[in-house]
Structure 1
Amino acid sequence: MNRRLRWSLALLVALPALLAAPGCGSDDSPPPPEVRDGQPDRGATLIARYGCGSCHTIPGIDRANGLVGPPLTRFGSRSYIAGELVNNADNLQHWIADPQAVEPGTAMPDLGVSAIDARDIAAYLYTLD
């Protein structure tokens, strides 16, 4: 049996399993994370006050069109924060309040965000799904 025929047969055998395997396009994703007791409207105000839009593009925030950090569009649908942390409320609040503790040397500056402010900023970001 020639090489091409063997490859074709192997593909035919494997194809049904490959098509049935879950992948990135699966609709079985968990619901977006949320921050209990967070105030998204206050979070939007804080995002503007802390100047997050000077580095990030953030939907719904006036003049938040920065290109230094990643755009935060559809943030609630993302799997990871900064490629380091699973995207959940506790991790996001930790990242916002103390990014250098999560990833020393990251370009994300420590802005002195309080725990309460981080909670509300996270609540706003999770509306972006």
Structure 2
Amino acid sequence: MSLPGRLGALGAVLALLPLVAVTGCGSAPPPPPPETHTGRPDRGAQLIAQYGCGSCHTVPGVKGADGLVGPPLTRFGARSYIAGELPNNADNLRHWISDPQSVEPGTAMPNLGVKPIDAQDIAAYLYTLD
């Protein structure tokens, strides 16, 4: 093969490298969509304020929820994982909200004694933030 032909082949291979690198990063299947069809988002926003979640988290749409201890919950519905541990879906989010220490022992997120129905409504609100 001539030098110009080799350079052309090399250029074609180099052009594909970014595509190969990006597709190689995701060997695991994507998590299920984080939608929930249960719960009351309007009540969830009130519960976020009631349980004091905003003392640690910034939560859009919740008055006074501007904490900087935990991560901001902005665009929560678009995230892939909860606490870097669980695929972001409704069952996992309710579990995390109700008992974060069982998911990640020693996490800074306290167990606030959130009732299951309250966790469902909080999750419904968080999924509106996408």
Assess same fold via TM > 0.5.
yes
User: 1:55-77 deviations in whole A, cap 9, x for unaligned?
Assistant: 00000000100000000000000
**Aligned runs of 1:1-80 on 2, under 5 Å?**
10=10, 12-16=12-16, 18-19=18-19, 22=23, 32-80=33-81
TM-score (norm 2): 0.81
Q: Distance in 1 between matches of 2:99 and 2:121?
A: 15
Equivalent residue letter for 1:98: D
After the TM superposition, which parts of structure 1 deviate over 6 Å for at least 4 consecutive aligned residues?
none
Q: Distance in 2 between matches of 1:33 and 1:103?
A: 20
Aligned-pair identity (%): 71
TM-score (norm 1): 0.81
User: 1:71-121 deviations in whole A, cap 9, x for unaligned?
Assistant: 000000000000000000000000000000000000000000011000000
Q: Distance in 2 between matches of 1:126 and 1:73?
A: 10
Q: CA deviation at 1:12?
A: 3.8
Unaligned ranges ≥5, structure 1 = 1-5
**Aligned runs of 1:75-114 on 2, under 5 Å?**
75-114=76-115
